[in-house]
A and B are shown apart, each in its own frame.
Chain A
Amino acid sequence: MSEIRTFKKILIANRGEIAVRIIRTCKEMGIQSVAVYSTADKDSLHVRLADESVCVGPPLGRDSYLNVQNIIASAEITGADAIHPGYGFLSERAEFVEILQSCEIAFIGPDPYAISKMGDKSEARKTMMAANVPTVPGSDGIVANPKDGLEVARKCGFPVMIKATAGGGGRGMRLVKTEAEFTELFETASQEALSAFGNGGLYVEKFIVEPRHIEVQVLGDKYGNVIHLGERNCSVQRRNQKLIEESPSPGISEKLRKRICEAGVQVAKSIGYHNAGTVEFLVDKDENFYFMEMNTRLQVEHPVTEMVTGFDLVREQIRVAEGHRLSIPQEGVRFHGHSIEFRINAEDPEQDFLPSPGKIERLVYPGGLGVRIDSFVSAGDSILPFYDSMVGKLIVHADTREACIKRAMRALAEFEIRGIASTVKLHQRVLESSGFQGGRFSTAFLANEILETK
């Protein structure tokens, strides 16, 4: 476990901007890179940038980027030492990591134990309660029937959330406002969870009214050392999909910032976590915070943390996966300035965020001091209907939040994109709003204050 295994060649089991992001760090570290791609992506930037590439299947993700056999065979025929999963696709599949171990291919991420512990939501909740991390009041684990569920709901007080233990993406999830509707909603949630995840297990939690979403970036090595790289506020969301993320979080006290970051480290330590991970918390109006879940992978929004700490998170991931110790202790982490990320998606906010795949006729990225673009497309490329609608991410950095907002406004005004719908204008409206500028906004902000008030 403690020996160093230097990677000479890394296969990136992903596509789009994150595959490009990872290949860039591989190049800077002098590590060879292998892209895998579907037939629909054969001209994509990640394939062109990588040293080698292997076609792993037809366009649909389940046939290509989720095709475990073809991806591992690709590592075998190219002689790759390690696989970086990026986010999504195979990044949080414990059984994939177990297969890699049996093939002696390293996985750039945590071990299967941590992935499965955190992948099962009620299991994660129980583990955190045992580790004295604050969790939202609710059931100890799965509730067996509506009657037991109702008892829990009465104890923590309405409104409550019913959640699927295997859940994600809002499926198998119900907000229950009154006692009268509990049993019926419990049963429909259970049905939905069963058909969506093959697991109808539900748990019950108190519903936190207008919470803020604040998450902590953690990084651990294989020797039990864990540090945090500060927090991110991701409260600008639509239906649990993040649109804007920033670090540090505005509108919280220094005391909360310190406590929440320490709690993030405590969560990671309690499960012997190594590699990069994110611990998500809900924060209520009185600055109480509750563990929500841990994402055992690199996040979409990791660049804002990189901008304020100067760390290359992918480099750190590769180093700890090779068996190195963390390159610095907690005291060595220095935070500088403020950073905001904007997800530029091919979606039409005017039409209920309808995905807008198609050819990009014209595309001009903003530039200048403190402006970073993580993308994979240029004019003439297409956003394909088979995958998520992300065009790229605009990440802005400045000394203060105020300066960062001004810089972001300047950068978004430079952003030209034609041929597909995008979220650029929506971001401009958010930046101009007093709610965002004031820095105290909840996850209900976008729906209530921006999308409602057109």
Chain B
Amino acid sequence: METFLRDFSLSRYDTVTVSSEGAEVFLRKKSSFVAKVNASENLSNVPEKANSGTESSNDSSMIKASRVGLFYPKVKVGDTLEENFVFGQIRAMNIMHELKAGKSGVVRKILVSSGDAVEYGDLLLELEGQA
């Protein structure tokens, strides 16, 4: 159980349900704990990875890449995003995949230049004043 809890705390999952012989345990991380674990992990991280340090900043203001490919933003700094707003595209296997914000707010920073490669979890946009 101890090793499981450690694995869980190091994993990126925020919740987990364990069921065994009819009993069920539901675990949820406290966000401060997630931030702490990830902050210490980052010390040993590969420095050139764009996504290192993602979770140590305030997650809720960040929009991350959900897939691998070339990123093309469709917004500029100062634009207001709604949840279903297409803020950019990722090109992979010659197909453009539209990216929806999933949250609302004003674009504070665009963290990847148009046409640059992104991997899963890379930070794309930073928002402020979210609803």
- Give chain A's interface residues, CB within 8 Å of chain B: 39-40, 42-43, 47-48, 53-59, 64, 69-74, 76-78, 99, 103, 357-359, 382, 384-385, 419-420
Bound-state Cα–Cα, A401 to B125, Å: 62
Give the 9 A-B CB pairs with smallest separation, nearest first.
A358-B3, A73-B92, A77-B117, A73-B68, A70-B68, A55-B119, A73-B69, A55-B120, A54-B119
**A420 cross-chain contacts in B, Cβ below 8 A:** 3
Q: Give B112-131 interface residues, CB cut-off 8 Å to A.
A: 117, 119-122
Complex alpha-carbon distance, A54 and B120, angstroms: 8
Q: Interface-forming stretch among B5-13, B27-35, B77-85?
A: B5-13
Chain A, residue nearest B69 (CB): A73
CB distance from B32 to the nearest CB of A (A): 20
Complex CA gap A78/B117 in Å reads 9
> DSSP majority for the B interface?
loop
Question: Judging by beta carbons under 8 Å apart, are B119 and A56 in contact?
Answer: yes
Determine if A70 and B67 form an interchain contact, defined as CB atoms under 8 angstroms apart: yes
Which chain A residues lie closer than 8 Å to B92 at the CB level?
Answer: 69-70, 72-73, 76
Query: A385 and B4: CB pair below 8 A?
Result: yes
Which residue in B13, B46, B68 is a CB contact (below 8 Å) of A77? B68
- Chain B interface size band reads 20 to 34
CA distance A41 to B124 in the complex (A): 22
- Determine the chain B residues whose CB is within 8 A of the CB of A72 once the complex forms: 92-93
Residue of B nearest to A63 (CB): B120
Q: Knowing A69-B92, A73-B93, A103-B93, say if A40 contacts B11 (CB, 8 Å).
A: yes
- The answer, yes or no, to whether B51 is at the interface (CB within 8 Å) is yes
Interface string of B44-60 (1 = CB under 8 A from A): 11100101000000000
Contact of A358 among B4, B69, B119, B121 (CB under 8 A): B4
CB neighbours of A103 from chain B (8 A): 93
Question: Once the chains bind, are B12 and A58 in contact (CB under 8 Å)?
Answer: yes
Interface: B101 (CB within 8 A): no
Contacting pair A39 B10 (CB below 8 A): no
